[in-house]
Structure 1
Amino acid sequence: MTFINASFLSAAAIALAAIAAPLSAAHADAPAKPVIVLVHGAFADATGWSHVIPLLEKDGYTVFAVQNSLTSLDADVATTKRVIEAQKGPVVVVGHSYGGAVITGAAADQANVKALVYLAAFAPDSGEAVGVFADQIPLAKTLVPDAAGFLYIDRAKFHDAFCADVPAEEAHIMGIVQKPLASAIFGQSIPAAAWKTIPSWYLVSQDDHAISPDLERFYAKRMGAQTSEIKASHVAFISHPKEIVHWIEEAANASAK
């Protein structure tokens, strides 16, 4: 039987503690990663982020994807605001398309929101209707209303208008499961624009057939956002998820400094 001297154990414990102490201190000093809140746009739901979520989680981020009703801007702002307010630490809020209008309203006066990320998104000013620039929204020409005033994208035009760089089979399913938008939303607005007080990042989709890339550039310039462009359709987060995650994390890293 082998016996280990007690004094040796004591010395080893002291040595390990000396090594662990600075490591623990360094870990304690490291800023916590912000929570990422993802907000979908019209004709979609939160499952559209399924290409992005695993990549963000792999990099150590906690992620929430909001499920909005698309029945009114006020309702979707309220739903998104509840998710933001439920977080204990810093938050980065990401909005795609109509989701950009939602985050612009929901993040206003939210002290824990450190950055806004717009992906081919609406970024209205306070009191400005979502659809005020209708002539620069080509998607509008593909919309079909139902009897209750909700809008769908014509399924025969869905692939080209919404997600031209997504494989045809996936685009076909997206067209079938699309979530309709209340037509009244295009005339609705938010009382305060969060991008006026919160640092913003904007990614323009150069091959967007839903919102004019020039309108996206206008929004980005007006808000003074950190801006980049990607050669992608309206749904770059589906066709180019790695690049989108890199862009979100760039905003997250900058907000932590």
Structure 2
Amino acid sequence: MTDANSTSSAVTVVLVHGAFADASGWGGVIERPHAADVPVRAVANPLRGVATDSAYVASVIRQVPGPVLAVGHSYGGAVITNAVTAADNVVGLVCRDGRIAAADRRHRVRGEERCAGVEESPVLGGGGHR
């Protein structure tokens, strides 16, 4: 976990779990970026519905100083694609084993259509959330 008062311009990875899970499921994933001095936070997704969850996650993301890479697992992918519409500091999205929420299956982040899947990442590790 990162210090909430950090003013670093490094990209912070924000991890959002899916349904039938909680933020502790990211424990093994957090170790890699943390060891590489990459700021990382696992959000406790409230699981109250897409609109409520997205609003909550957006509020968490807006409080992160500097740029954010939002990562969603399963249902968390739908949550982050909605949340980024209310958070100006998101520079990218990664959906793992999930679906993006936009009807055309794309979302714009800073003018680019993106929600990349991840099979192998040097920071997040292979296979994503387990």
- Please indicate, yes or no, whether the TM-score normalized by the shorter chain is above 0.5: yes
Measured against the shorter chain, the TM-score band is 0.7 to 0.9
Do the aligned residues in 2 keep the contact of 1:116 with 1:195 (CA within 8 Å)?
no
| SS state at 1:55 partner | helix
Are positions 1:48 and 2:25 aligned together?
A: yes
Structure possessing the higher relative contact order (Cα contacts under 8 Å, 6 or more residues apart): 2
Identity %: 37
Could you tell me which residue of structure 2 aligns to residue 202 of structure 1?
117
Task: Answer with 31-40 or 95-104: which moved more.
Answer: 31-40
Residue by residue, what CA displacement relative to the aligned partner does 1:149-185 show, whole Å, maximum 9, x if unpaired?
Answer: xxxxxxxxxxxxxxxxxxxxxxxxxxxxxxxxxxxxx
Please give the secondary structure, in 1, of the residue aligned with 2:117: strand
Do the aligned partners of residues 67 and 194 (structure 1) sit closer, same or farther apart at CA in structure 2, a change above 3 Å counting?
A: farther
Give the corresponding residue for 1:116.
Answer: 93
Instruction: Note the C-alpha offset of 1:109.
Output: 4.8
Paired AA for residue 40 in structure 1:
H
1:58 and 1:244 map into 2 onto residues whose CA distance is 18
Report if the CA contact (8 A) 2:11-2:38 is conserved.
yes
So what's the TM-score if we normalise by structure 1?
Answer: 0.41
Q: What CA distance in whole angstroms lies between the structure 2 residues aligned with 1:90 and 1:69?
A: 23
What's 1:65 paired with? 42
CA distance in 2, matches of 1:244, 1:79: 26
Task: Normalising by structure 2, report the TM-score.
Answer: 0.77
Instruction: Give the number of the structure whose alpha-carbon radius of gyration is greater.
Output: 1
Deviation of the 1:32 alpha carbon: 3.5
Aligned pair in 2 of structure 1 residues 105, 71: CA closer, same or farther (>3 Å)? Answer: same
- Residues of 1 paired with 2:42 and 2:89: CA distance? 17
- 104, 126, 129: which one aligns with 1:243: 126
Alpha-carbon contact 1:68-1:80 (below 8 Å) kept: yes
SS of the equivalent of 2:82 reads helix
Residues 62 and 88, structure 2, Cα contact 8 Å, conserved in 1: no
Aligned ranges 1:1-257 → 2 under 5 Å: 32-126=9-103, 195-197=107-109, 198=112, 199-203=114-118, 229=119, 242-244=125-127
CA–CA separation in structure 2 for the residues paired with 1:98 and 1:124: 9
Gaps of 5+ in 2: 1-7
Unaligned runs of 5+ in 1: 1-30, 129-192, 204-228, 231-240, 246-257
CA distance in 1, matches of 2:13, 2:106: 17
Higher normalized helix content (fraction of residues): 1
Q: Deviations over 1:104-135 (max 9, x none)?
A: 10012532100100101121215x8xxxxxxx
Amino acid corresponding to residue 113 of structure 1 in structure 2: V
